[in-house]
Structure 1
Amino acid sequence: MAYAKQLKIKGDKRTYKLSTDIKKYTLRDIGFVESKNGKFQLERSLEPNSPFNQGLKFKLAIAPDLQTFKMLTTSANGLNEINIYKSAEAATRIEQLNYILELLEQRHVLQKVENL
């Protein structure tokens, strides 16, 4: 998946973009890891019972200029994009995803795009 200014998670109806108030120190505070080339990456488990189990993951990567990003849900190994809305235990994983997205909105990393 290429970096974009607006994205949807596979199966979700909501569209997100990066907040205009995004700050690098906020990304570090939330748990983003900065790579050698300057991009910021966040990876979170969507398993509500144990975040240490190998399960579906939420991944978010932000370009070094803080203008574009990639966001997806993946399989346990992180290689395949998954539609969690069609998976077993969808309700618990969706709840976990919504919690993560809400935190990112509150911390001014992401913001919803209003559909006209």
Structure 2
Amino acid sequence: MATKPIDSLSGSKDQYKVNDQAKRYTLKDHGFTETKNGSFQYERTLSSVISDKTAPKLKITISKDLKELKLVTVTANGLKKIDIFKDTDLKQAQLMVENILSSFVEESVLEKA
């Protein structure tokens, strides 16, 4: 069996892949939405202030066959990839990303590689 692609966030030493136990309904239960092409996307603003228009976002995309994983943090408008781990002002965003990813590992959506 082929190994699943591994991905990590820019600046992070942790690597992840889709858990073999993850199913379509598992992803939907955890806030993923199905896109037009059948892949699943999770997007979360990395701020405790809901109306924060400048906070970076975490985007997780899983292919429709549940094999490929893409992890990325982007600017608030979603147009530019950023490394939240090199900016000390983004400590809260770093903690939120770590909490989100660890909860996905606990819930068998992702697994650490």
- Opposite residue 95 of structure 1, the aligned amino acid is L
Q: How many residue pairs are counted as aligned between the two chains?
A: 109
4+ residue segments displaced more than 3 Å: none
Correspondence 1:27-66 to 2 at 5 A? 27-48=27-48, 50-54=49-53, 55-66=55-66
Aligned to 1:5: 5
Name the amino acid aligned to 2:10.
K
* Deviations, residues 41-75 of structure 1 (Å, cap 9, x unaligned): 00001113x13322100000111000102111000
Structure 1 residues not aligned, in runs of 5+ = none
Match of 1:76 in 2: 76
| 1:24 match | 24
- Secondary structure, in 3 states, of the residue corresponding to 1:71? strand
CA RMSD of aligned residues (A): 1.3
- After TM superposition, give the deviation of residue 89 of structure 1 in Å: 2.1
1:87-102 to structure 2, matched below 5 A, reads: 87-102=87-102
Tell me, what secondary structure is at the counterpart of 1:25? Answer: helix
Gaps spanning 5+ residues in structure 2: where? Answer: none
Q: 1:9-64: per-residue Cα shift (whole Å, max 9, x none)? A: 0000011111111111111111111012111000001113x133221000001110
Aligned counterparts of 2:72 and 2:59: Cα–Cα separation in 1: 5
Find the residue that maps to 1:61 and give its secondary structure. strand
